[in-house]
Structure 1
Amino acid sequence: MNAEQRQQEILAQLADQGEVNVADLSARFGVSEMTARRDIIQLAAAGLLVRTHGGAVSAASRSFEPLFALRSRTNADAKRLIGQAVAREVIDGQTIVLDGGSTGVAIAEALVGRNLTVCALNIRVADILSVDHATRLMIPGGMVRTGESSVIGSDAEASLRRYRFDTYVMTASAVDVGAGLTEWNVEDAAVKRAAKEVSRRTLVAVDSSKFGREAFALICGLDEIDLVVTDSSIATTHKNELSAAGAELLIA
């Protein structure tokens, strides 16, 4: 296991448990404590965790939205596979709305060069898709949310409602059978609801860590979407819950 893989595992453990210990990491990865400590130092320098005596704790409160820099390093391989699976679900010539976030970025990377019309709800996603002439890129009006680079506000919602899209590729902060699909930011959730309303099909792309959790603002219920794409680490209990709720599931 190389340093990048070890550090992703450290971030995944922090997201799940909130803390890590150098001695435990050394034993888990089969490396020296010095190597485990060096991984923690590098992640701390990037602002992705906070060092403690003998280990580290998460840099983000579990009651608030994690920073994009942290999310982009967490479950990166799973998000790449999800991006590729979503790309296979999209047909050339279609018009689609694409969300942002770290999963949205992975999907955008998988769609580069495709013959599509894409309405990007995030500036990072738009930048990725702007490199190839085959993809026609749209950006709705509105304000850009600092840090996340998502397009928000009533102008963005009104812009979306002037069109009818084939597919909306939605990302979400949390998925729960009872709570539905939720987002940390109220304005992001409002734009997502508008995108869903103007799309014939809604596909939700979320990595397995998002299941069984709730964020602050409701986007919609699971009965309002057509397909959920996730990675193979999804728990059997969550698979069964989705099936009972009538949601179609695709494992990347």
Structure 2
Amino acid sequence: MKHIYAIGVGLIGGSLAKDIKKHNPEVVIHGISRKDTTLNTALELGLIDRKATLDDIVNADLVIVSIPVDATVKLLPTILDKISDKGLVVDAGSTKEAICKAVENHPKRRNFLAMHPIAGTEHSGPTAAVEGLFIGKTNIVCEVEKTTFKLQEKALKLFSDIGMRMRYMNPVEHDRHIAYVSHLSHISAFMLGKTVIDKERNERDIFDMAGSGFASTVRLAKSSPEMWTPIFEQNKTNVIETLEEYINNLNHFKELMKDDNFEAIFNEMKNTNHIKDILNGIH
């Protein structure tokens, strides 16, 4: 793959561009964005080699779409209209069902690979791009059987070479599982931040007492609302289900507190400590 076009050169798109370029110096990275200032920054940072437009992707070997998921749903059919028969389009969206449905009947569906590299930080924009972001990270690939084999083979090798491991899943299951392990985490962080900010209006010293535990827990509340609101909208049903279960657990914990049942609270926390063994097994 010689010519790679990055539609969106923020945290994910920019980091992919950095790692791909590091492992494939001969590749030319073309950047596409609604904002020329974003492309100028990406050029200055060395994330891309050239600016481009949507019409240029007829020349692309690979197009990486890393924009908010609502924009992906709208733009993806147009991108596939423009891609050549030898080119491949991949997306990096955190939801997959709506994106896959948007192109399920497109005549060039075979030129699209749906994926979700599970990596990132709370930062956004080209300056957030970091080298090595995807080392050891899981890349969820959906409906791989609908993509031309030779094209998917090249792309998956490209992503494997920068350190990602592949996992295959259907879009519905992906969205259901990711609601628990990613989307709920972000909502929890946003609402924890909101709760503390609301309280801080009356108690100005509260942030003086905030330690590393609070900082690490609320870190995701710094994430981009422009990116996360469309994710919650597209995965609404699954997110509501996770929220209902989460709220039930919070209410249960509150009732144990009211009843002074701290033995039960101890046991709940002790049992939940098992999550460290699960995560160690995964990572």
Q: TM tier, shorter chain?
A: 0.3 to 0.5
Larger relative contact order (CA 8 Å, sep ≥ 6): 2
Larger radius of gyration: 2
TM value normalised by structure 1: 0.35
Structure with the higher helix share, 1 or 2:
2
TM value normalised by structure 2: 0.32
